[in-house]
Chains A and B, each alone.
Chain A
Amino acid sequence: MSICHALASGMGGIKTAGDLVARMQLRKMRLAEAKRYVADALGVGVRDLTDSTVMRALREELDIGVITAVPGSAKGIEAKLRIADLLGVPINSVERLRERASGSL
């Protein structure tokens, strides 16, 4: 059933910009505002946010994590570090890594 909802209604996660829009909803933005915010941050139109053809290339260019397993591309927390900077929002796990790594880098 989860797959039904993902196919029928979901934004597409890291295949597109779903994770990015979700991060803005975690800051209480309603959908339209969250989509607008992310579109502006990425320099694309709102409709492009769920276009996998546009977003696959853009995510690789910005190195914020892509859906396929590409050697050398940002993965996991590496991608989140870059997403936090791109969106201008704190991400808890990124902040935790920065605290724990301070003095080591």
Chain B
Amino acid sequence: MATILTRMGDGHSVELTPDQLRREVVEGSEDAARRARIPALDENEVDYLVDLFAYPGRITGVERGREVVLTKDGCANTLYSGQMSSGVGIPLAREQGVRIFERAFCFDTMEVAHPDYSFKPAKPLIALERTTMEQALLDTIVPLFYGAMPNMGLYFRPDGPYRNPADLLPKGLIAEARETQVGAAAALRDDMVMVGTEMAAAGADGIDFDTTASAGDAEFLATLEAIERLADTTDLAIEVGMATELVLGFHGELEYKGTRLAGLWPHQQVKVVEQAGAHIFGPVATTRTDRTAPWNVARATTFVRECSRVAEIPVHANVGMGVGGISMAEVQPSDVATRAGAALVEIGGADGL
């Protein structure tokens, strides 16, 4: 029997029979459906994914005319940064990197960002960040965002001034753990508003909050509040990319306009992000390295499809390393990356990636 060559979630190759491939797609979708209480992919959609992974070509893509808008995280760090960003270490200034992505790689948008890609380290260097943005805006044609991660973990000891909830929770100090998260969230919110305001003054087209809610519901709340303020006071387009498919409740009781944030899935996350005033939403589904690429892509597609169905703003499915069905691997297999993108657009209904 002919087998189909595909990969595991960690990028290693694996061969599946046609029946095994179909089973992987169905089970991946059903996993998402069961967890988020959303519909699984129907028979036609399963057939599409089976055909996608059974196709022997190394790369594939969407049909002509079905192309979507690409937004970017990390500026051009894949060019000038090191292994930590899967960067290839080419000595380039950020302005050069942005132009390469515009002209050589034909990206639809781009972003300026600090190599230490979080709001906390960017804030003390805001003068440099703003200067870089101002200069890049003069030279480029594509929309330019300023991007950074909320990354509330940097506000906790030893990296920041607030007591670390990861130290408090194992001691049963739940009230104290909640209090410190609320304090850190307020500081984070103010920093994000400050950076966003400076970028608006620079003339940036937008701001990108990447890996939102990585530290859970308090970080999500800080980001939503920052979005509200920036939407009210600036003309920035606001993009929100999430960290994972489920908002983790490290606090557990925080709400935004009556909606408890802990436990939200992508189709629910997009609604509070819309309420806050954002313009683009990026749902995430984390890749499981112990499952196959078809399983992971089917799972991610199921989450994104429901998110796209209910969204009123554009949905840009996250397809970076380890999310959206993409392999959790330092060097990306092109066969999986192109299939994941095609699936999220053609079946997931994403407006972008």
A90 to chain B, nearest CB (A): 7
Which residues of B are found within 8 Å of A19, using beta-carbon distances?
108-109, 141-143
A30 pairs with B341, CB closer than 8 A: no
B120 at the interface (CB under 8 A from A): no
User: How many residues in B have their beta carbons less than 8 Å from beta carbons of A?
Assistant: 59
Which residues of A are found within 8 Å of B140, using beta-carbon distances?
76
Residue of A nearest to B140 (CB): A76
In the bound assembly, the distance between CA atoms of A25 and B311 in angstroms comes to: 13
A77 at the interface (CB under 8 A from B): yes
List residues of B (328-353) whose CB comes within 8 Å of A's CBs: 332, 334, 337-338, 341-342, 345, 351-353
Which residues of A are found within 8 Å of B205, using beta-carbon distances?
23, 26, 91-93
| Of listed B69, B70, B332, B342, residue having the most chain A CB within 10 A | B69
B106 at the interface (CB under 8 A from A): yes
In the bound assembly, the distance between CA atoms of A16 and B65 in angstroms comes to: 12
B68 pairs with A65, CB closer than 8 A: no
How extensive is the interface on chain A, given as a class? 35 or more
Which residues of B are found within 8 Å of A13, using beta-carbon distances?
70, 102, 105-108, 142
Among B65, B143, B337, point to the contact of A46 (Cβ < 8 A).
B65
Main secondary structure on A side of the interface with B: helix
List residues of B (281-336) whose CB comes within 8 Å of A's CBs: 311-314, 319-321, 326, 332, 334
In the bound assembly, the distance between CA atoms of A103 and B108 in angstroms comes to: 34
A8 pairs with B279, CB closer than 8 A: no
B338 pairs with A96, CB closer than 8 A: no
B230 to chain A, nearest CB (A): 13
In the bound assembly, the distance between CA atoms of A10 and B62 in angstroms comes to: 9
List residues of B (186-230) whose CB comes within 8 Å of A's CBs: 200, 202-206
B351 pairs with A25, CB closer than 8 A: yes
Residue of A nearest to B110 (CB): A13
Given that A11-B67, A90-B235 are known contacts, is A83 also in contact with B61, CB under 8 Å in the complex? Answer: no
A10 pairs with B314, CB closer than 8 A: no
Among A21, A94, A96, point to the contact of B69 (Cβ < 8 A).
A21
Residue of B nearest to A4 (CB): B337
A81 to chain B, nearest CB (A): 11
Which residues of A are found within 8 Å of B202, using beta-carbon distances?
96
B332 pairs with A25, CB closer than 8 A: no
Given that A28-B314, A31-B69, A31-B352 are known contacts, is A14 also in contact with B59, CB under 8 Å in the complex? Answer: no
> Contact flags (1/0) for B133-149 with A, using CB distance below 8 Å?
00001111111100000
- Which residues of A line the B interface, CB within 8 A? 1-16, 18-19, 21-23, 25-31, 34, 46-47, 50, 64-65, 67, 75-77, 79-80, 83, 90-97
23 pairs, A vs B, C-beta closer than 8 Å: A2-B107, A4-B337, A8-B338, A9-B67, A10-B67, A10-B353, A11-B108, A14-B102, A18-B70, A18-B142, A22-B109, A26-B143, A30-B314, A31-B314, A50-B64, A67-B103, A76-B139, A76-B140, A77-B137, A77-B139, A91-B205, A92-B200, A95-B235
Q: Top 6 A-B pairs ranked by shortest CB distance?
A: A8-B61, A18-B108, A93-B203, A26-B237, A96-B203, A8-B338
